[in-house]
Amino acid sequence: MQAINARLSMLAFYGGMDVLDVARYLAGLLLVLGLIGAAGLATRKFGVPGLAKPNATRRLHIVETLMLSPRQRLAIIRRDGVEHLVLITAAGASVIEAGFAAPGVVAKEKIAQEKTESAP
Protein backbone atom coordinates (compact mmCIF):
# COMPACT_ATOMS: atom_id res chain seq x y z
CA MET A 1 0.00 0.00 0.00
CA GLN A 2 2.82 2.37 0.83
CA ALA A 3 4.51 1.63 -2.52
CA ILE A 4 1.31 2.43 -4.40
CA ASN A 5 0.94 5.73 -2.55
CA ALA A 6 4.56 6.60 -3.35
CA ARG A 7 3.97 5.77 -7.03
CA LEU A 8 0.79 7.87 -7.14
CA SER A 9 2.54 10.81 -5.51
CA MET A 10 5.35 10.59 -8.11
CA LEU A 11 2.78 10.56 -10.93
CA ALA A 12 1.11 13.60 -9.40
CA PHE A 13 4.52 15.30 -9.10
CA TYR A 14 5.58 14.63 -12.69
CA GLY A 15 2.07 15.08 -14.02
CA GLY A 16 2.18 11.77 -15.84
CA MET A 17 4.12 13.27 -18.77
CA ASP A 18 6.07 10.91 -20.93
CA VAL A 19 8.54 11.60 -23.74
CA LEU A 20 5.79 11.80 -26.36
CA ASP A 21 3.99 14.58 -24.45
CA VAL A 22 7.19 16.57 -24.07
CA ALA A 23 7.90 16.15 -27.80
CA ARG A 24 4.38 17.39 -28.63
CA TYR A 25 4.81 20.47 -26.45
CA LEU A 26 8.19 21.29 -27.99
CA ALA A 27 6.85 20.76 -31.52
CA GLY A 28 3.94 23.07 -30.76
CA LEU A 29 6.29 25.70 -29.38
CA LEU A 30 8.50 25.51 -32.48
CA LEU A 31 5.44 25.75 -34.73
CA VAL A 32 4.17 28.88 -32.96
CA LEU A 33 7.63 30.52 -33.04
CA GLY A 34 7.93 29.68 -36.74
CA LEU A 35 4.54 31.25 -37.47
CA ILE A 36 5.52 34.40 -35.56
CA GLY A 37 8.77 34.62 -37.55
CA ALA A 38 6.95 34.10 -40.86
CA ALA A 39 4.46 36.84 -39.95
CA GLY A 40 7.34 39.19 -39.17
CA LEU A 41 9.04 38.48 -42.51
CA ALA A 42 5.77 38.93 -44.39
CA THR A 43 5.19 42.24 -42.60
CA ARG A 44 8.67 43.43 -43.55
CA LYS A 45 8.26 42.39 -47.20
CA PHE A 46 4.66 43.43 -47.90
CA GLY A 47 4.05 46.02 -45.19
CA VAL A 48 1.00 46.50 -43.04
CA PRO A 49 -1.59 48.95 -44.41
CA GLY A 50 -1.56 52.11 -42.33
CA LEU A 51 1.45 50.98 -40.30
CA ALA A 52 4.41 50.46 -42.63
CA LYS A 53 5.05 50.45 -46.36
CA PRO A 54 7.12 47.82 -48.16
CA ASN A 55 10.69 48.87 -48.88
CA ALA A 56 10.10 49.10 -52.64
CA THR A 57 7.55 51.92 -52.32
CA ARG A 58 9.35 54.03 -49.75
CA ARG A 59 10.60 57.41 -50.91
CA LEU A 60 12.91 58.14 -47.98
CA HIS A 61 16.10 56.16 -47.32
CA ILE A 62 19.08 56.56 -45.03
CA VAL A 63 21.97 55.85 -47.37
CA GLU A 64 24.87 56.07 -44.94
CA THR A 65 25.68 57.24 -41.41
CA LEU A 66 28.96 58.16 -39.78
CA MET A 67 29.48 58.56 -36.03
CA LEU A 68 31.56 61.67 -35.33
CA SER A 69 31.28 61.43 -31.56
CA PRO A 70 28.92 59.74 -29.11
CA ARG A 71 26.48 62.63 -29.53
CA GLN A 72 27.07 63.62 -33.17
CA ARG A 73 26.31 61.72 -36.35
CA LEU A 74 26.42 62.56 -40.06
CA ALA A 75 23.75 61.01 -42.25
CA ILE A 76 23.15 60.97 -45.98
CA ILE A 77 19.42 60.86 -46.59
CA ARG A 78 17.95 60.17 -50.05
CA ARG A 79 14.50 61.31 -51.11
CA ASP A 80 13.33 60.81 -54.70
CA GLY A 81 16.88 60.46 -56.03
CA VAL A 82 18.19 63.60 -54.31
CA GLU A 83 20.52 63.28 -51.35
CA HIS A 84 21.00 65.55 -48.34
CA LEU A 85 23.86 65.58 -45.82
CA VAL A 86 22.50 66.09 -42.29
CA LEU A 87 24.35 66.57 -38.99
CA ILE A 88 22.38 65.00 -36.14
CA THR A 89 23.20 66.03 -32.56
CA ALA A 90 21.52 65.79 -29.19
CA ALA A 91 20.28 69.37 -29.62
CA GLY A 92 18.73 68.75 -33.05
CA ALA A 93 19.57 68.30 -36.72
CA SER A 94 21.17 70.65 -39.25
CA VAL A 95 21.35 70.34 -43.02
CA ILE A 96 24.99 70.62 -44.08
CA GLU A 97 24.49 70.15 -47.83
CA ALA A 98 21.17 69.87 -49.62
CA GLY A 99 20.06 68.71 -53.01
CA PHE A 100 23.05 66.88 -54.44
CA ALA A 101 22.30 64.05 -56.85
CA ALA A 102 22.80 60.44 -55.83
CA PRO A 103 25.84 58.77 -57.49
CA GLY A 104 23.69 56.27 -59.40
CA VAL A 105 21.48 59.05 -60.72
CA VAL A 106 24.52 61.04 -61.94
CA ALA A 107 25.92 57.97 -63.72
CA LYS A 108 22.58 57.27 -65.43
CA GLU A 109 22.32 60.90 -66.56
CA LYS A 110 25.85 60.79 -68.03
CA ILE A 111 25.10 57.56 -69.91
CA ALA A 112 21.86 59.02 -71.27
CA GLN A 113 23.66 62.22 -72.30
CA GLU A 114 26.43 60.24 -74.08
CA LYS A 115 23.82 58.21 -75.96
CA THR A 116 22.03 61.33 -77.17
CA GLU A 117 25.31 62.99 -78.23
CA SER A 118 26.54 59.93 -80.14
CA ALA A 119 23.23 59.41 -81.96
CA PRO A 120 23.26 60.90 -85.49
One DSSP character per residue, 33-96 reads HHHHHHHHHHHHHH-BTTTB--GGG--EEEEEEEEEETTEEEEEEEETTEEEEEEEESS-EEEE
The domain locations on the chain are 2-46, 59-118
pTM over 0.85: no
Listed in sequence order, the residues at least 6 apart from 90 whose beta carbon sits closer than 8 Å to its beta carbon are 71
Give me the pLDDT at residue 10, please.
Answer: 54
Query: CA-CA distances (angstroms) from residue 115 to 90, 105, 112?
Result: 47, 15, 5
Residue 107 pLDDT more than 60? no
Residue 117 pLDDT more than 90? no
What is the Cα–Cα distance from 73 to 107, expressed in whole angstroms? Answer: 28
Measure the CA dihedral 86/49/44/84, to 10°.
Answer: -10
At 20-73, the pLDDT tens digits run 888 999 999 999 999 999 998 888 777 676 666 666 677 888 889 999 999 999
Listed in sequence order, the residues at least 6 apart from 80 whose beta carbon sits closer than 8 Å to its beta carbon are 59
In what helix (H) or strand (E) does residue 97 lie, and over which residues does it extend? strand 93-101
Give me the pLDDT at residue 99, please.
Answer: 84
Q: Say whether 30 sits in a helix, a strand or coil.
A: helix
